[in-house]
Amino acid sequence: MSAELIVLVIVIITALAFDFTNGFHDTANAMATSIATGALKPRVAVAMSAVLNLIGAFLSVEVAKTVSGGLLNIGNVHHMELLHIVFAGLVGGILWNLFTWLFGIPSSSSHALFGGLIGAAVAALGAGGVIWTGNEKTGLISKIIVPAALAPFVAAMVAALGTFLIYRLTRTANKKKVSDGFRWGQIGSAGLVSLAHGTNDAQKTMGVIFMALVAHGTFTNGDDIPLWVKVCCALAIAAGTYLGGWRIIRTLGKGLVEIDSPQGFAAETSSAAIILTSAQFGLPLSTTQTATGSILGTGLGKPGAEVRWGVMGRMALAWLFTLPLAGLVGALCWFIADLFGGLSGVLVDFALLIAVSGYIYLRSRRNPVGTDNVNDEWEGGLAPSPEIKTGAAV
């Protein structure tokens, strides 16, 4: 087996590992409100979300095309160098996902991935390695930055209007019947968000793996994404989703706004509509920012609701730093790989990734969050409370 083929295999494994972290990092986008209101039991919620993520991954490939050919100038890059860039970018995305998960911060897995890739590409190729402005199908600004800036605001406005109308139209109805009815509605709307998440996010990893396959020479940019890539990415994100990501579910479900079932329905419906629409246009939207904007909007739209602006501010700060910090890690990983050279450099980076990931996991066990405490009363901050000593999983 050649060194280039070994590097390709490592890149594919790392890409699927990123897809797995994306799954448990972003489960909250679909299920946090349903779990918080009691519409779904925690384990039922993540199982349902996992199945729908799996199905959603097969519905479109437009986002995958954007990721594989619309962000980096890679036409004249040597095969091994491009594989190093993709690998370093994936490491940046994984480590940012794990760091923000540790502190329960619902940051964007998509932007972590793009930041890692951009940082690695700039380190390897200079500023010209990135397509900053392109046409309607390419370009960092038009396909990533502008949607990232607009999505949370649009989602917040749509959810705020929907929430206001729901409470306005049901103000004279029996509150218990209204609440029970919207709990059933939440099951459908949460499922739609999960489907949308699979359609949008699983494709990002498909695009990265396809980029690596093109770099290796196995495929060309004009080929279709092979079925095995779609299946592997769908299974990886579904497995991660089933794991739960309870720390971030707790933040979105209990930390930002105290959510009732009508609010949950409005938030999930708003998120699903925006994410599914963006996927059809090939926009690799952040489902995290969209879902968070929707939840914020329900707090604005419900009369007398409390929005914890301090929590929102810290989330926004994390969003602001996601691209540059993931990019910094991606660039550092590229320099390490370049320093040791070839396969040796990739193996050193891979060992560092395993070591840091292991440390973050062990650190998380000091204050675990699981199905039995995910709905405990919010005690402030973004990280799970140090007093929480019970729980399971992540």
CA-nearest of 387, 325, 393 to 27 is: 393
Q: What pLDDT digit, counting tens, does each position of 24-83 carry?
A: 888 888 888 899 888 889 999 999 999 998 998 888 777 666 666 667 776 666 678 888
Residue 370, in any domain of the structure: no
So what's the pLDDT on residue 65?
67
Residue 363, in any domain of the structure: no
Q: Is 72 helix (H, G, I), strand (E, B) or coil?
A: strand
Determine contact, residues 279/60, Cβ cutoff 8 Å.
yes
Residue 341, in any domain of the structure: no
So what's the pLDDT on residue 135?
59
**Dist. CA 21–CA 14, nearest whole Å:** 11
Determine contact, residues 205/236, Cβ cutoff 8 Å.
yes
Domain extent for 146: 3-333
Residue 349, in any domain of the structure: no
**Dist. CA 257–CA 291, nearest whole Å:** 13
So what's the pLDDT on residue 138?
61
What mean pLDDT comes out for the span 179-199?
A: 87
Give every CB contact of residue 84 below 8 A, 6+ residues apart in sequence.
7, 120, 124, 334, 337, 338, 345, 346
What mean pLDDT comes out for the span 248-253?
A: 88
Q: What pLDDT digit, counting tens, does each position of 121-144 carry?
A: 999 889 888 888 765 556 677 777
CA distances from residue 204 to 14, 71, 102, 121, 352 in whole angstroms, order as listed: 13, 12, 23, 17, 24
Long-range contacts formed by 129-134: CB under 8 A, 24+ apart: 129/72, 129/73, 129/74, 129/77, 129/85, 130/71, 130/72, 130/73, 131/70, 131/71, 131/72, 131/73, 134/70
pTM confidence score = 0.86
So what's the pLDDT on residue 33?
87
**Terminal-to-terminal C-alpha distance of the chain:** 37
Residue 301, in any domain of the structure: yes
DSSP H or E stretch at residue 361: helix 342-364
Residue 371, in any domain of the structure: no
Determine contact, residues 152/289, Cβ cutoff 8 Å.
yes
Q: What is the number of domains present in the chain?
A: 1
How does residue 245 score in pLDDT terms, banded at 50, 70 and 90? confident
Q: Which two tokens stand for residue 138?
A: 């390419």
So what's the pLDDT on residue 371?
87
So what's the pLDDT on residue 171?
86
Q: What is the mean pLDDT of the chain?
A: 85
Q: Which two tokens stand for residue 329?
A: 């890690």
CA distances from residue 65 to 185, 240, 280 in whole angstroms, order as listed: 34, 23, 12
Helices (H), 103-174: 109-125, 140, 146-169
Instruction: Calculate what percentage of the chain has a pLDDT beyond 90.
Output: 34
String of b and e for 348-357 (b: at least 16 CB within 10 Å)?
A: bbbeebeebb
- At 205, give phi and psi (nearest 5°): -70, -35
Instruction: Calculate what percentage of the chain has a pLDDT beyond 70.
Output: 89
How does residue 97 score in pLDDT terms, banded at 50, 70 and 90? very high
CA 329 to chain centre: 18
So what's the pLDDT on residue 77?
67
Residue 379, in any domain of the structure: no
Residue 353, in any domain of the structure: no
**Dist. CA 391–CA 286, nearest whole Å:** 29
**Dist. CA 150–CA 132, nearest whole Å:** 18
CA-nearest of 289, 239, 253, 334 to 111 is: 289
